[in-house]
Amino acid sequence: DTKILTLLLSRGVHVEAATRIGTALQYAAGHGHRDAVKVLLDHGANPNAVISPGMLRPLMAAILFESWECMELLLQAGANPSAESYGNTPLILAAKEEYVGVTTRLLEAGADPNHKSVGLTALEIAAMRCNYQIVEILFPVTSRIPTYPDWSIGGLIRHVHSDAFKLQREVYKKEKFHQAKSKGRDAFQEEQYLMAVNWFNEALDICPKDPAVLSNMSACYARLGDGFNALEYATKCMNERPEWPKVYYRLGVALNILKRYGDAANAFNKGLTLDPRNKELKDAYMKAMEDRLNSTK
Protein backbone atom coordinates (compact mmCIF):
# COMPACT_ATOMS: atom_id res chain seq x y z
CA ASP A 1 0.00 0.00 0.00
CA THR A 2 1.81 3.13 -1.21
CA LYS A 3 -0.32 5.42 0.96
CA ILE A 4 0.85 3.66 4.11
CA LEU A 5 4.41 3.58 2.76
CA THR A 6 4.34 7.32 2.06
CA LEU A 7 2.87 8.01 5.50
CA LEU A 8 5.57 5.98 7.24
CA LEU A 9 8.34 7.71 5.31
CA SER A 10 6.84 11.14 6.02
CA ARG A 11 6.91 10.31 9.73
CA GLY A 12 10.59 9.55 9.73
CA VAL A 13 10.90 5.85 9.00
CA HIS A 14 14.37 5.33 7.53
CA VAL A 15 14.09 4.61 3.81
CA GLU A 16 17.10 2.25 3.98
CA ALA A 17 15.78 0.28 6.96
CA ALA A 18 16.41 -3.41 6.34
CA THR A 19 15.45 -6.85 7.55
CA ARG A 20 17.05 -10.20 6.82
CA ILE A 21 15.38 -10.20 3.37
CA GLY A 22 16.80 -6.80 2.45
CA THR A 23 15.65 -3.21 2.15
CA ALA A 24 12.16 -2.14 1.14
CA LEU A 25 13.53 -1.17 -2.28
CA GLN A 26 15.08 -4.60 -2.83
CA TYR A 27 11.82 -6.28 -1.88
CA ALA A 28 9.64 -3.97 -3.98
CA ALA A 29 11.89 -4.28 -7.04
CA GLY A 30 12.00 -8.06 -6.76
CA HIS A 31 8.22 -8.34 -6.54
CA GLY A 32 7.26 -5.93 -9.30
CA HIS A 33 5.78 -3.27 -7.02
CA ARG A 34 6.36 -0.35 -9.39
CA ASP A 35 4.52 2.30 -7.37
CA ALA A 36 6.37 1.34 -4.19
CA VAL A 37 9.70 1.51 -6.02
CA LYS A 38 8.84 5.01 -7.25
CA VAL A 39 7.83 6.20 -3.77
CA LEU A 40 11.02 4.81 -2.22
CA LEU A 41 13.25 6.36 -4.89
CA ASP A 42 11.43 9.68 -4.57
CA HIS A 43 12.23 9.58 -0.85
CA GLY A 44 15.94 9.05 -1.48
CA ALA A 45 16.37 5.28 -1.47
CA ASN A 46 19.76 4.28 -2.85
CA PRO A 47 19.19 2.24 -6.06
CA ASN A 48 22.55 0.50 -5.53
CA ALA A 49 22.28 -0.28 -1.82
CA VAL A 50 22.76 -3.77 -0.41
CA ILE A 51 22.87 -4.67 3.27
CA SER A 52 25.32 -7.54 2.80
CA PRO A 53 27.72 -8.52 -0.02
CA GLY A 54 25.67 -11.57 -0.99
CA MET A 55 22.32 -9.85 -1.42
CA LEU A 56 20.68 -9.05 -4.72
CA ARG A 57 20.93 -5.43 -5.73
CA PRO A 58 17.56 -3.85 -6.57
CA LEU A 59 18.29 -3.75 -10.32
CA MET A 60 19.30 -7.42 -10.37
CA ALA A 61 16.19 -8.34 -8.38
CA ALA A 62 13.96 -6.46 -10.83
CA ILE A 63 15.47 -8.26 -13.83
CA LEU A 64 15.46 -11.67 -12.16
CA PHE A 65 11.75 -11.34 -11.43
CA GLU A 66 10.96 -9.66 -14.79
CA SER A 67 9.84 -6.39 -13.21
CA TRP A 68 10.56 -4.24 -16.27
CA GLU A 69 8.91 -1.04 -15.05
CA CYS A 70 10.89 -1.31 -11.82
CA MET A 71 14.07 -1.88 -13.84
CA GLU A 72 13.45 1.31 -15.80
CA LEU A 73 12.76 3.37 -12.68
CA LEU A 74 15.97 2.09 -11.09
CA LEU A 75 18.08 2.87 -14.16
CA GLN A 76 16.61 6.37 -14.35
CA ALA A 77 17.47 6.82 -10.67
CA GLY A 78 21.11 5.92 -11.29
CA ALA A 79 21.29 2.17 -10.65
CA ASN A 80 24.69 0.86 -11.74
CA PRO A 81 24.07 -1.48 -14.72
CA SER A 82 27.45 -3.17 -14.14
CA ALA A 83 27.18 -3.80 -10.40
CA GLU A 84 27.72 -7.44 -9.43
CA SER A 85 25.53 -9.77 -7.46
CA TYR A 86 27.45 -13.01 -6.71
CA GLY A 87 29.65 -12.60 -9.77
CA ASN A 88 26.78 -11.85 -12.14
CA THR A 89 25.88 -8.50 -13.64
CA PRO A 90 22.50 -7.43 -15.01
CA LEU A 91 23.87 -7.81 -18.56
CA ILE A 92 25.04 -11.38 -17.89
CA LEU A 93 21.60 -12.20 -16.49
CA ALA A 94 19.88 -10.63 -19.52
CA ALA A 95 22.02 -12.76 -21.86
CA LYS A 96 21.29 -15.94 -19.88
CA GLU A 97 17.56 -15.30 -19.87
CA GLU A 98 17.64 -14.13 -23.51
CA TYR A 99 16.09 -10.73 -22.83
CA VAL A 100 16.86 -8.86 -26.05
CA GLY A 101 15.28 -5.53 -25.11
CA VAL A 102 16.83 -5.59 -21.64
CA THR A 103 20.27 -6.22 -23.16
CA THR A 104 19.92 -3.14 -25.35
CA ARG A 105 18.61 -0.99 -22.49
CA LEU A 106 21.45 -1.99 -20.16
CA LEU A 107 24.06 -1.15 -22.80
CA GLU A 108 22.38 2.23 -23.30
CA ALA A 109 22.72 2.75 -19.55
CA GLY A 110 26.46 1.99 -19.72
CA ALA A 111 26.69 -1.70 -18.81
CA ASP A 112 30.15 -3.27 -19.22
CA PRO A 113 29.95 -6.02 -21.90
CA ASN A 114 33.37 -7.45 -20.96
CA HIS A 115 32.48 -8.65 -17.47
CA LYS A 116 32.70 -12.45 -17.08
CA SER A 117 30.57 -14.89 -15.11
CA VAL A 118 31.77 -18.48 -14.71
CA GLY A 119 34.46 -17.58 -17.21
CA LEU A 120 32.13 -16.28 -19.93
CA THR A 121 31.11 -12.87 -21.21
CA ALA A 122 27.50 -12.04 -22.01
CA LEU A 123 28.42 -12.37 -25.70
CA GLU A 124 29.69 -15.93 -25.26
CA ILE A 125 26.60 -16.88 -23.25
CA ALA A 126 24.35 -15.54 -26.01
CA ALA A 127 26.40 -17.41 -28.63
CA MET A 128 26.10 -20.68 -26.69
CA ARG A 129 22.34 -20.20 -26.69
CA CYS A 130 22.39 -19.40 -30.41
CA ASN A 131 20.59 -16.13 -29.71
CA TYR A 132 21.74 -14.27 -32.81
CA GLN A 133 19.84 -11.10 -31.90
CA ILE A 134 21.77 -10.66 -28.68
CA VAL A 135 25.04 -11.76 -30.33
CA GLU A 136 24.65 -9.07 -32.97
CA ILE A 137 23.97 -6.48 -30.27
CA LEU A 138 26.93 -7.48 -28.09
CA PHE A 139 29.60 -8.37 -30.65
CA PRO A 140 30.44 -4.78 -31.74
CA VAL A 141 30.86 -3.59 -28.14
CA THR A 142 32.73 -6.58 -26.65
CA SER A 143 36.53 -6.59 -26.63
CA ARG A 144 38.20 -9.31 -28.67
CA ILE A 145 38.89 -12.49 -26.68
CA PRO A 146 42.43 -13.72 -27.52
CA THR A 147 41.58 -17.45 -27.29
CA TYR A 148 39.22 -17.21 -30.28
CA PRO A 149 41.12 -17.88 -33.54
CA ASP A 150 38.43 -16.29 -35.71
CA TRP A 151 37.02 -13.16 -34.11
CA SER A 152 33.83 -12.83 -36.09
CA ILE A 153 30.22 -13.69 -35.32
CA GLY A 154 30.51 -16.88 -37.36
CA GLY A 155 33.85 -17.79 -35.78
CA LEU A 156 32.45 -17.12 -32.33
CA ILE A 157 29.43 -19.37 -32.88
CA ARG A 158 31.61 -22.17 -34.29
CA HIS A 159 34.10 -21.97 -31.42
CA VAL A 160 31.54 -22.13 -28.59
CA HIS A 161 30.02 -25.22 -30.22
CA SER A 162 33.34 -27.00 -30.88
CA ASP A 163 34.14 -30.30 -29.11
CA ALA A 164 37.22 -28.84 -27.41
CA PHE A 165 35.27 -25.92 -25.99
CA LYS A 166 32.42 -28.18 -24.85
CA LEU A 167 34.81 -30.52 -23.01
CA GLN A 168 36.45 -27.60 -21.26
CA ARG A 169 33.07 -26.19 -20.28
CA GLU A 170 31.78 -29.54 -18.92
CA VAL A 171 34.58 -29.75 -16.38
CA TYR A 172 34.07 -26.13 -15.42
CA LYS A 173 30.28 -26.48 -15.20
CA LYS A 174 30.36 -29.49 -12.85
CA GLU A 175 32.48 -27.56 -10.42
CA LYS A 176 30.27 -24.47 -10.67
CA PHE A 177 27.06 -26.51 -10.30
CA HIS A 178 28.10 -27.94 -6.95
CA GLN A 179 29.37 -24.55 -5.83
CA ALA A 180 26.10 -22.78 -6.73
CA LYS A 181 23.98 -25.51 -5.14
CA SER A 182 25.98 -25.33 -1.92
CA LYS A 183 25.81 -21.53 -1.75
CA GLY A 184 22.08 -21.66 -2.43
CA ARG A 185 21.57 -24.02 0.50
CA ASP A 186 23.66 -21.77 2.74
CA ALA A 187 21.65 -18.70 1.71
CA PHE A 188 18.39 -20.56 2.36
CA GLN A 189 19.54 -21.58 5.84
CA GLU A 190 20.36 -17.92 6.51
CA GLU A 191 16.84 -16.99 5.31
CA GLN A 192 18.29 -14.98 2.41
CA TYR A 193 15.71 -16.30 -0.02
CA LEU A 194 16.32 -13.91 -2.92
CA MET A 195 20.01 -14.73 -2.72
CA ALA A 196 19.18 -18.44 -2.65
CA VAL A 197 16.97 -18.07 -5.74
CA ASN A 198 19.88 -16.53 -7.62
CA TRP A 199 22.29 -19.30 -6.64
CA PHE A 200 19.79 -22.04 -7.45
CA ASN A 201 19.14 -20.32 -10.79
CA GLU A 202 22.87 -20.58 -11.43
CA ALA A 203 22.74 -24.30 -10.67
CA LEU A 204 19.67 -24.83 -12.89
CA ASP A 205 21.34 -22.95 -15.69
CA ILE A 206 23.93 -25.74 -15.67
CA CYS A 207 21.65 -28.68 -14.82
CA PRO A 208 18.02 -27.64 -15.44
CA LYS A 209 16.43 -30.94 -14.39
CA ASP A 210 18.14 -31.52 -11.04
CA PRO A 211 15.29 -32.54 -8.67
CA ALA A 212 16.95 -31.29 -5.49
CA VAL A 213 17.55 -27.83 -6.92
CA LEU A 214 14.03 -27.64 -8.39
CA SER A 215 12.67 -28.57 -4.95
CA ASN A 216 14.83 -25.93 -3.31
CA MET A 217 13.63 -23.29 -5.79
CA SER A 218 10.04 -24.15 -4.89
CA ALA A 219 10.87 -23.81 -1.20
CA CYS A 220 12.48 -20.40 -1.78
CA TYR A 221 9.47 -19.03 -3.62
CA ALA A 222 7.16 -20.45 -0.96
CA ARG A 223 9.11 -18.58 1.73
CA LEU A 224 8.79 -15.44 -0.41
CA GLY A 225 5.03 -15.96 -0.58
CA ASP A 226 5.05 -16.54 -4.35
CA GLY A 227 2.71 -19.47 -4.79
CA PHE A 228 2.74 -19.45 -8.58
CA ASN A 229 6.50 -19.88 -8.92
CA ALA A 230 6.57 -22.27 -5.96
CA LEU A 231 4.01 -24.44 -7.77
CA GLU A 232 5.83 -24.21 -11.09
CA TYR A 233 9.12 -25.50 -9.66
CA ALA A 234 7.42 -28.14 -7.52
CA THR A 235 5.64 -29.43 -10.63
CA LYS A 236 8.92 -29.54 -12.55
CA CYS A 237 10.47 -31.45 -9.68
CA MET A 238 7.57 -33.93 -9.63
CA ASN A 239 8.00 -34.54 -13.35
CA GLU A 240 11.64 -35.44 -12.76
CA ARG A 241 11.19 -37.50 -9.58
CA PRO A 242 7.54 -38.54 -9.10
CA GLU A 243 8.38 -41.16 -6.46
CA TRP A 244 9.92 -38.60 -4.06
CA PRO A 245 7.61 -37.85 -1.07
CA LYS A 246 9.13 -34.42 -0.49
CA VAL A 247 7.98 -33.13 -3.86
CA TYR A 248 4.35 -33.61 -2.80
CA TYR A 249 5.06 -31.57 0.31
CA ARG A 250 6.41 -28.81 -1.94
CA LEU A 251 3.32 -29.04 -4.15
CA GLY A 252 1.02 -28.87 -1.16
CA VAL A 253 2.75 -25.84 0.33
CA ALA A 254 2.54 -23.99 -2.99
CA LEU A 255 -1.14 -24.86 -3.40
CA ASN A 256 -1.83 -23.71 0.16
CA ILE A 257 -0.32 -20.30 -0.63
CA LEU A 258 -2.68 -20.12 -3.59
CA LYS A 259 -5.56 -21.03 -1.23
CA ARG A 260 -6.27 -24.22 -3.18
CA TYR A 261 -6.69 -26.16 0.04
CA GLY A 262 -8.39 -29.22 -1.44
CA ASP A 263 -5.63 -29.66 -4.02
CA ALA A 264 -3.04 -29.08 -1.29
CA ALA A 265 -4.58 -31.81 0.86
CA ASN A 266 -4.53 -34.18 -2.10
CA ALA A 267 -0.85 -33.43 -2.71
CA PHE A 268 0.07 -34.04 0.93
CA ASN A 269 -1.99 -37.26 0.89
CA LYS A 270 -0.14 -38.46 -2.21
CA GLY A 271 3.13 -37.91 -0.36
CA LEU A 272 1.79 -39.93 2.57
CA THR A 273 1.04 -42.89 0.29
CA LEU A 274 4.76 -42.92 -0.52
CA ASP A 275 5.94 -42.26 3.05
CA PRO A 276 3.14 -43.08 5.55
CA ARG A 277 5.23 -42.23 8.62
CA ASN A 278 6.27 -38.76 7.48
CA LYS A 279 5.16 -36.42 10.30
CA GLU A 280 5.69 -33.26 8.26
CA LEU A 281 3.31 -34.55 5.58
CA LYS A 282 0.77 -35.74 8.16
CA ASP A 283 0.70 -32.38 9.93
CA ALA A 284 0.48 -30.50 6.64
CA TYR A 285 -2.35 -32.74 5.44
CA MET A 286 -4.39 -32.17 8.61
CA LYS A 287 -3.84 -28.42 8.42
CA ALA A 288 -4.87 -28.32 4.74
CA MET A 289 -8.05 -30.27 5.53
CA GLU A 290 -8.83 -27.83 8.34
CA ASP A 291 -8.24 -24.85 6.04
CA ARG A 292 -10.42 -26.46 3.41
CA LEU A 293 -13.31 -26.86 5.85
CA ASN A 294 -12.91 -23.30 7.14
CA SER A 295 -12.87 -21.89 3.62
CA THR A 296 -16.31 -23.36 2.90
CA LYS A 297 -17.98 -21.88 5.98
Answer whether residue 51 shows pLDDT above 70: no
- CB of 206 closer than 8 Å to CB of 237: no
- Non-local CB neighbours of 71 within 8 Å, separated by 6+ positions: 29, 59, 62, 63, 102, 105
For the stretch 100-121, pLDDT in tens is 999 999 999 999 999 998 789 9
Fold of 82-161: 1.25.40
For the stretch 214-247, pLDDT in tens is 999 999 999 999 999 999 999 999 999 999 999 9
DSSP summary character for residue 23: E
3-state DSSP assignment of residue 277: coil
Do the domains 209-296 and 1-80 match in fold? yes
Long-range CB contacts (within 8 A, 24+) of 237-241: 237/211, 240/209, 240/210, 240/211, 240/214, 241/211
| This prediction's pTM | 0.61
3-state DSSP assignment of residue 242: coil
% of the chain beyond a pLDDT of 90 = 70
Domain borders along the chain are 1-80, 82-161, 209-296
CATH number of 209-296: 1.25.40.10
For the stretch 162-211, pLDDT in tens is 998 988 888 888 888 999 999 999 999 999 998 899 899 889 988 999 99
Fold of 1-80: 1.25.40
3-state DSSP assignment of residue 77: coil
